[in-house]
Amino acid sequence: KKKNENQPEFIQAATEILESIEPVFEKHPEYQKAGLLERYVEPERIVVFRVPWIDDEGKVRVNRGYRIQFNSAIGPYKGGLRFHESVNLSIIKFLGFEQILKNSLTGMNIGGGKGGSDFNPKGKSDNEIMRFCQSFMTELYNYIGPDTDVPAGDIGVGSREVGFLFGQYNRISNEHHCVLTGSGLEYGSSLVRTEATGYGLVYITEEALKQRGDSFKGKTVVVSGSGNVAIYAAEKAIMLGAKVIAMSDSSGYIYDENGIQIPFIKEIKEINYGRISEYLDYFDDETLTAEFVEGSNHIWNLKCDIAFPCATQNELDGDSARKLVSNNVKYLSEGANMPCTLEATEILQKAGVVYLPGKAANAGGVATSALEMAQRSSKLCWSFEEVDSRLKAIMVNIYHCIDQAAKEYGFEENYVIGSNIAGFIKVANAMMAQGVV
Ligand code: NDP
């Protein structure tokens, strides 16, 4: 903790993981001897760099860029880039740390990394975003490669930004490498990548429901956020017979007891980069049943059977968890990375809520990125159905892996511990086999 003070998010993520893998170290004293823990918490490499760019008024702006290459024991670094004003070393480190276990859980051979910048794309013109992305890639270029490190999108980095980043990489290297996943379909992205994290979240939850003799049919669902993960989680839940009654952005949430209409959210968020409150403009006085409520975290006061926090870290605190429990929520699956505080997690688990943590529940995105890498290196394009069925199989497999690990170590139905242990063992064994490096 001392070494990483002023990194609260990293300490939060590391505390949760390290506490839950203690039983693994008890069972495997050889890990302790090999200094595995000390090596595991230390990133292999941290790159911090200047990103200068010129805005539309001709003024020079400077942001800070990051790439953390955390662990490459099981494969090349893989993890998204986040562009948001809140980005700092602690946030990128926590995301990279979680990514190691998430990638391991997918069953594919990909290591953990993460990056981004404190650049805020909101309110910037396309030209400003392009100039920023070109400058960012001019430096990042030195550290990535198809067999070294393959970044992707995250908050604030969608297909537009990935396109600009890839264009610059291609220009500098003169090689059409698979060095970024999640780009445009015309130049290498896999079908289903856009939907993958949200759909995957629903597939793993569907498996948890199925194991309990239940399904999405007739369930009421609350989804926070209205970005990439939220939209496709809501879409798939509705396809399986659930009703999504609320979605949010950082300004507040919309609620409609009759169900939110996802095509309108897609238009507002994916095409117009607008605000969630604009949803009300799609209805006239007679058809309007939705309302907009300011204050995004109040969304957890709504009664639902299933909660999908899909916005950002620590968006769901102890009070929100208590409210959800008193409203009888049965399942909570994390679409975002670490959306629940440690207190919220404890409250939900104690109350017997089936709680699927982000590193397992939102792994569908990175798993599909790995499928994209496989398609690109073999110069093949699989159909939507083929990728979707592989994604579903991966998510079902993750559920059973974490369930099994939890049982094996005596923590039945504790999927936080199950995920951490199942993800860690593969990485630990690879690190052991490769010696002290
Ligand atoms: P986007 O940028 O597409 O969307 C983020 C959404 O969350 C926006 O609607 C944003 O609203 C909203 N938001 C941000 N802060 C809050 C808040 N405090 N309360 C309510 N809403 C908020 O990001 P993604 O959907 O890609 O990512 C969301 C989360 O999922 C992140 O934690 C990310 O790391 C994680 N994730 C994403 C994956 C992916 O494939 N995209 C893969 C795995 C994890 P506003 O526009 O107002 O900022």
Compute the C-alpha angle 416/417/419, nearest 5°. 65
Which atom of ligand 1 lies nearest, measured to the CA of 297?
Answer: 19
- The percent of residues in the chain predicted with pLDDT above 70, rounded, is 100
Residue 224 Cα to ligand 1 middle (Å): 9
Q: pLDDT value at position 2?
A: 77
**Is the confidence at residue 1, as pLDDT, over 90?**
no
Residue nearest to atom 42 of ligand 1 (CA): 365
pTM of structure: 0.95
Nearest residue by C-alpha to atom 46 in ligand 1: 249
3-state secondary structure the chain: CCCCCCCHHHHHHHHHHHHHCHHHHHHCHHHHHCCHHHHHCCCCEEEEEEEEEECCCCCEEEEEEEEEEEECCCCCEEEEEEECCCCCHHHHHHHHHHHHHHHHHCCCCCEEEEEEECCCCCCCCHHHHHHHHHHHHHHHCCCCECCCEEEECECCECHHHHHHHHHHHHHHHCCCCCCCCCCCHHHCCCCCHHHHHHHHHHHHHHHHHHHCCCCCCCCEEEEECCCHHHHHHHHHHHHCCCEEEEEEECCEEEECCCCCCHHHHHHHHHHCCCCHHHHHHHCCCCCCCCEEEECHHHHHHCCCCEEEECCCCCCECHHHHHHHHHCCCCEEECCCCCCECHHHHHHHHHCCCEEECHHHHCCHHHHHHHHHHHHHHCCCCCCHHHHHHHHHHHHHHHHHHHHHHHHHCCCCCCHHHHHHHHHHHHHHHHHHHCCCC
Ligand 1, atom 11: nearest CA belongs to which residue?
Answer: 249
Cα of 286 from ligand 1 centre, angstroms: 32
Q: How far is the CA of 82 from the centre of ligand 1 (A)?
A: 10
For 170-224, write each residue's pLDDT tens digit: 999 999 889 999 988 888 899 999 999 999 999 999 999 999 999 999 999 999 9
Residue having the nearest C-alpha atom to atom 36 of ligand 1: 336
Q: Which amino acid is at 260?
A: I
Residue 114 a catalytic site member:
yes
Distance from the alpha carbon of residue 19 to the mean position of ligand 1, in angstroms: 27
For residue 335, the CA-to-ligand 1 centroid distance in Å is: 9
Task: Say if residues 349 and 343 touch (Cβ distance below 8 Å).
Answer: no
Residues 260-271 have pLDDT tens digits of: 999 999 999 999
Instruction: Identify the active-site residue in 78, 93, 102, 114.
Output: 114
Summarize pLDDT for 54-107 with one digit per residue, the tens. Answer: 999 999 999 999 999 999 999 999 999 999 999 999 999 999 999 999 999 999
- As for ligand 1, residues whose beta carbon falls within 6 Å of it are 153-156, 197, 224-230, 248-251, 296, 310-312, 315, 335-337, 362, 365
Give residue-wise pLDDT tens across range 139-180.
Answer: 999 999 999 999 999 999 999 999 999 999 999 999 988 999
Task: Say how far apart CA 167 and CA 176 lie, in whole Å.
Answer: 10
Using CA positions, which residue lies closest to atom 35 of ligand 1?
Answer: 336
